[in-house]
Amino acid sequence: MESKIIRQKNQNKSDEEKSIAKQVVEDIDSTNPRLFNGIDKKEEIAQAVIHHCLSIKSFEYAEMHQGPLPSPKTLKAYGEIVEGGAERIMKSSEEQAEHRRRIERKVVNGQVNQSLVGQIMGFVIALLFLYAGFRLIMDGHEIYGTIISSIDIVGLVSVFVIGRQNKYKTKEE
């Protein structure tokens, strides 16, 4: 029973190939009638070509790996091709990672130091303005001394308020 079904499928394929071959030969004869001059069995040749084309199967294999190191399979191949190749690749990757961490530490420490210096300088400037306001008041220039001291205090308070608002916004995001 099973072989009868297979024969039936093969017969259907063969009939389909014959039909396609006949159409191909007709199309070729209508576009370029001299192509098949002197050739017998045009349809059989066309059918053989069509059968061959339909029976071609393709196989594609793709492998993908993403990461700082090659895949274990590739790493093993490097080890087989170059003596100690896998170990050298691993060592290089470890050194690169350590280098990256050192640079990140330097950047973070630099930002912290820069922030600290900025805060100290701001504090010194604020103290100088407060002292200048105090000296003006003590020297009899109460209005000017009060204005400078008030501007200084308002500036300090606004820096802290704005700084806190930005800190909360950053945490929310």
Query: Would you say residue 63 lies in a domain?
Result: no
Which pLDDT does position 55 carry in this prediction? Answer: 67
Q: Are residues 95 and 168 in the same domain?
A: yes
Residue 60, token pair as written in the block: 């594609």
Phi, psi angles (nearest 5°) of residue 33? -65, -25
| pTM strictly above 0.85 | no
- Report yes or no on 13 lying in a domain: yes
Show the DSSP H helices in 56-138 as ranges.
Answer: 72-81, 85-138
Domain of 34?
A: 2-55
Q: What's residue 22's pLDDT?
A: 76
pLDDT < 70: residue spans in the chain? 1-14, 35-36, 38, 40-41, 52-59, 164, 166-173
Q: What is the pLDDT of residue 94?
A: 93
Over residues 38-76, the pLDDT tens digits come to 676 677 777 777 776 666 666 677 888 888 888 888 888
Shared domain for 85 and 48, answered yes or no, is: no
User: 81 and 20 share a domain?
Assistant: no
